[in-house]
Amino acid sequence: MIQLTATPVSALVDEPVHIRATGLIPFQMVSFQASLEDENGDMFYSQAHYRANEFGEVDLNHASSLGGDYMGVHPMGLFWSLKPEKLLTRLLKRDVMNRPFQVQVKLYDLELIVNNKVASAPKASLTLERWYVAPGVTRIKVREGRLRGALFLPPGEGLFPGVIDLFGGLGGLLEFRASLLASRGFASLALAYHNYEDLPPKPEVTDLEYFEEAANFLLRHPKVFGSGVGVVSVCQGVQIGLSMAIYLKQVTATVLINGTNFPFGIPQVYRGQIHQPLPHSAQLISTNALGLLELYRTFETTQVGASQYLFPIEEAQGQFLFIVGEGDKTINSKAHAEQAIGQLKRHGKNNWTLLSYPGAGHLIEPPYSPLCCASTTHDLRLHWGGEVIPHAAAQEHAWKEIQRFLRKHLIPDVTSQL
């Protein structure tokens, strides 16, 4: 009897799943196919083809895919190779608390698949639950003063390291990374700063005092270590995270994922001081063969001799973790990170770590998330970049390093408290 099993059937999205098929004919060729329907009703699909061993088994932890959406031994390949049925669609989890993504996995006889279409019913199937929040994590809506967001607290009495989670130009409130961080033991504040509730859709300036309020809010919480907060930021959020590390003594550990070392778009303001954005060269925006916009060269000419626009990163007292995808087609993030690190070195600083991933694109997300190499954002067809397999490896490695970095620099040393 053919059986398809997965362990565990229900898990957090950053946890691996062990998938096996048994009861097959020895050396039979089969196809595993996965599908997921997102909260908007959009479908995502993946497939991989395998040959059963002499015992009629396929164990994805050890077997090598011979074709489909990836090749080689990749136990979680069916998850990170999911592709949207509707082009330029990004997989985003909005409701992290109430329901998981459900991934349908089906097993077919490869000989009965013609032109990528199945000609018979699956030999076996199962449904996996992929959660963005662990049992016991609580979500508290934040609407205090100007602050808008959601605070996620791990189960237990605490104390927990506090983290502010910032996304980029998409705006609104994205909670999936904060909820996962809370599931891993961090008191995590998903912070909105534009295009959400009564926040302006397109602010004229970035007011750093808003983010200072967020840091103080988190530090006041009775379940949060009072020694300092961390920031996890990506894209446009990086310029804010970097400024917070420089100007706010409350920030002691900052993760910067694919961003710049200068403000762009709009000025930053902090207590009367104005930091003007670096001008960009619109003529350097390019369109690739697929009609997708690539923005990563837009600061090439204006950055020459533009030291007055760069953040004074050498003034920061905390620690930095730079994470860059070398295949990023939106921001030349490796060049900007290396420039910032060079600035630190010239001032005798060694408070930085750089993780640079060949083949990874702009949207480096939690492990096993599908690569989104392009999507429509604010009516723009943007090329984010990245290659499926190296991008997946980067996400898995970076997620572990982010947690290790934050724990190291946010949890007070026991001996210092004696």
Q: Is the peptide bond before 159 cis (omega within 30 degrees of 0)?
A: yes
Q: State yes or no: is 235 an active-site residue.
A: yes
How many Cα atoms within 13 Å fall on the side-chain side of residue 224?
24
The residues near 84 (Cβ < 8 Å, ≥ 6 apart) are 42, 43, 44, 90, 91
Category of 305 on φ-ψ map: left (φ > 0), alpha (ψ -120 to 50) or beta: left
Measured distance CA(188)–CA(154) in Å, rounded: 9
Measured distance CA(238)–CA(244) in Å, rounded: 10
Selecting among 165, 328, 336, 372, the annotated active-site residue is 328
Helix, strand, or coil here: 321?
strand
Q: Which residues pair with 7 in a beta bridge?
A: 18
- Look up residue 330 and give its two tokens: 């939106």
Q: State yes or no: is 275 an active-site residue.
A: no
Selecting among 74, 362, 383, 409, the annotated active-site residue is 362
How many Cα atoms within 13 Å fall on the side-chain side of residue 388?
16
Selecting among 165, 235, 275, 372, the annotated active-site residue is 235
Q: Is the dihedral of CA 196, 199, 205, 211 positive or negative?
A: negative
Which residues participate in catalysis according to the annotation?
235, 328, 362
